[in-house]
Structure 1
Amino acid sequence: MNEIKRFPYTDILGWSVSRYDRFSNCKRQYFYDYYAKYDKDIPLEKILFLKALTSKALETGNAVHDIIRDMLKRFQKSAKPINKDKFFKYAFDLTVKYVGAKTFFESYYNNEIVDVKEVYAKVKVILENFLNSPRFKWLEENAVPTSTQWVIEPDGFGETRINNYKAFCKVDFLFPVGDKIYVMDWKTGKPDEIKHSKQLTGYSLWANFHFGKAAKDILPMIVYLYPAYAEKNVKIDDAAIAAFAKTVETETKEMYEYLSNIEKNIPKDKKDFPLTTNQFFCRYCSYREICQGK
């Protein structure tokens, strides 16, 4: 496959599913996530501390993603079967490292003691679901021979261009089999087919842009790993790509409206980023200490 294209740095904001999702849910939360240095009231250090809060669900996903990533990279060096004892020892050690190194939302706001064994128990179930799936066997038999062409969580943020708009669509795992490119995205949380299909469509455009593959030759799938293994194929054709590109343009322009300088990505004042009226988001928001509905 072709080399991944590189882009010179620019200040202009880049669209992503997660960025627009945050923008849609709460404009104030979005401000804190992306424009903390422009806050005139709260010390930057405080905002960055709250932004860095993690959760049991998030660290479960992070651990699983990184363990699978490292396993796939190991397949690029050797096609030997996985030694499951060593694999799960590595998985446990990485989970311990992740849990011990971070401050959890549950601990900070709810005084909950985060038990690494509890987190690892779920990590282990998820990894077992993956290793015992027909897809894993299929990968060993069909994809490993082309492992030198795999794209596994590439460096950077997955920058690309969609209708000349900057966008970030970082894939988990992309690989060729025959004349097709498969794109897989691991999910450890609750299914959200609308959001996740949107992500996979973005990853498909990333593959289209960087490798010049036609829509019909890109096969994206959402891989749900918990509570049981399940796959959801995402249909990609020229009409879907055109519609998605229009969505990226529309959503990017919506975010532009909250900027005082588009080229330099400078936001309007914090007061111009309204609070959400959905208390569900407030309940699980890392910034609730400094926001408090004001």
Structure 2
Amino acid sequence: MSNKLEWSFSALSTLRKCNRMYYFQYLAPSHHFTNSLRRRAHELKKSKSLLMWRGSVIDKIMELEIMPRIKDKLPIDYNEMANRAIELAKRQFKFSEDRLYKVKENSESKVGADYCILDVHDTNVPYKEEDLSKVYSSIKEIIQNIPLIKMPNGSLLVDFLAKATFLIPNLRAWGFEFENVKISPQLDLFMFVDNKAVVLDWKVSESDVSDYSRQLVIGGITVLDTYRRKANEGKGKRLGYDDIRLIEVNLLKQNAKEHPFNKQVVDECVDYIYLNSDDVEMLTDGKPFDQLNIEDFPITDKEGTCMFCKFRSLCTKILLNNNQYHEETYDNIVSAKQPAQLEISF
């Protein structure tokens, strides 16, 4: 390949769904305000539905409030944590409602945890106050029930976490590289428990069929490669497959399951990444964004994929305007949308 590709696991699955979605999700977005299309793509990428937002609030409380207390061996009042989560959610809702993300000075790095873009404000997705109340009550219940969650062997999750001798939440700094492809995953939680390296992934999902195993395997490969390099530099112990555990915890369903990590699953995952990287290279040819042509990124022929794509409004407007983007026209169309009833199941 002519240029290094850097992506997360989700980029692969997005590419398989729709090339145009991949364009908006991974190539177009820029937090700068100099290019209106790229800024708009950035805002849409960051926007969340109410259900997605519920999960992100819980993730943030786990990262900023609960995990630091576990790391410092401090007692945790989960009712208090639930109340803090609701307070954070309300601040985020207000930030989004006031569209403060449109203010150039309000970058995510400066604003911190309160930064939020919700589709109910950004693209005028309809909702009812009842839906918002359900989000708050669901967040509270999920946090309060964390002490009830059991590990696959029947022990309590909180007891397992309390045994951690090394703990880093929301780890983004590590990655691995092969064949000119760099993978940079986000690890919800990395720690050592009983002399085993643990990659733990938080989920807040209703689905019983979603498969997150490959995402966790990529986290495991990242840990394997990181400690291989550390050992080569004389800075640590080399880890083997048996030294790494992959655990998925569904906070909503209050259960946990462990995924296998061995040479076979690693080889299968690496093959998957490599085969799909060819598709990206064919689309981009290593070109910078300003040399890419949106017409080279076809839309999907699957109605369901298009229907639930967060870039649907932007993509539709550009298609109807001969693949050109005019910000004022787009904003007028979004603002003119009429609210409607929307039921959300929790």
Distance 1:37 1:146 in 2: 37
Mean CA deviation greater in 275-284 or 107-116:
107-116
Aligned residue pairs total: 277
69, 72, 77: which one pairs with 2:67?
A: 72
User: Aligned residue for 1:122?
Assistant: 138
Mean CA deviation greater in 279-288 or 196-205:
279-288
Q: Confirm whether residue 239 of structure 1 aligns to residue 264 of structure 2.
A: yes
Where in structure 1 are there 5+ consecutive unaligned residues? 1-10
Q: How does 1:223-238 map to 2 (within 5 A)?
A: 223-226=249-252, 228-238=253-263
User: Aligned residue for 1:105?
Assistant: 119
Which runs of at least 4 in structure 1 moved beyond 6 Å after TM superposition?
none
Contact 1:96–1:116 at 8 Å: present in 2 too? no
TM-score normalized by the length of structure 2: 0.71
Distance 1:52 1:215 in 2: 35
Distance 1:96 1:33 in 2: 27
The amino acid of 1:59's aligned partner reads W
How far did residue 72 of structure 1 move? 0.9
CA displacement 1:23-61 (0-9 Å, x = unmatched): 1111111111222279xx973343333333221111111
CA change 1:265–1:252 in 2 (3 A) is farther
287, 294, 314: which one pairs with 1:290?
A: 314
How far did residue 275 of structure 1 move? 0.4
CA change 1:252–1:187 in 2 (3 A) is same
CA change 1:58–1:184 in 2 (3 A) is same
Q: Confirm whether residue 200 of structure 1 aligns to residue 216 of structure 2.
A: yes
Distance 1:254 1:195 in 2: 22
User: Aligned residue for 1:31?
Assistant: 23
Where in structure 2 are there 5+ consecutive unaligned residues? 97-116, 228-237, 320-346
More contact order relative to length (CA 8 Å, sep ≥ 6): 1
Q: Confirm whether residue 172 of structure 1 aligns to residue 188 of structure 2.
A: yes
Q: Which of these two proteins has the greater Rg computed from alpha carbons?
A: 2
Q: Confirm whether residue 83 of structure 1 aligns to residue 108 of structure 2.
A: no
What is the Cα-based RMSD across aligned positions, in Å?
2.8
User: Aligned residue for 2:48?
Assistant: 54
Q: Confirm whether residue 14 of structure 1 aligns to residue 40 of structure 2.
A: no
CA change 1:247–1:123 in 2 (3 A) is same
The amino acid of 2:82's aligned partner reads F
Q: Confirm whether residue 273 of structure 1 aligns to residue 297 of structure 2.
A: yes
CA change 1:91–1:46 in 2 (3 A) is closer
Q: Percent identity?
A: 19
Q: Confirm whether residue 182 of structure 1 aligns to residue 174 of structure 2.
A: no
The amino acid of 2:170's aligned partner reads E
Mean CA deviation greater in 127-136 or 87-96:
127-136
Contact 1:282–1:288 at 8 Å: present in 2 too? yes
2:187 aligns to what SS in structure 1?
Answer: coil
Contact 1:222–1:232 at 8 Å: present in 2 too? yes
Contact 1:259–1:267 at 8 Å: present in 2 too? no
The amino acid of 1:33's aligned partner reads Q
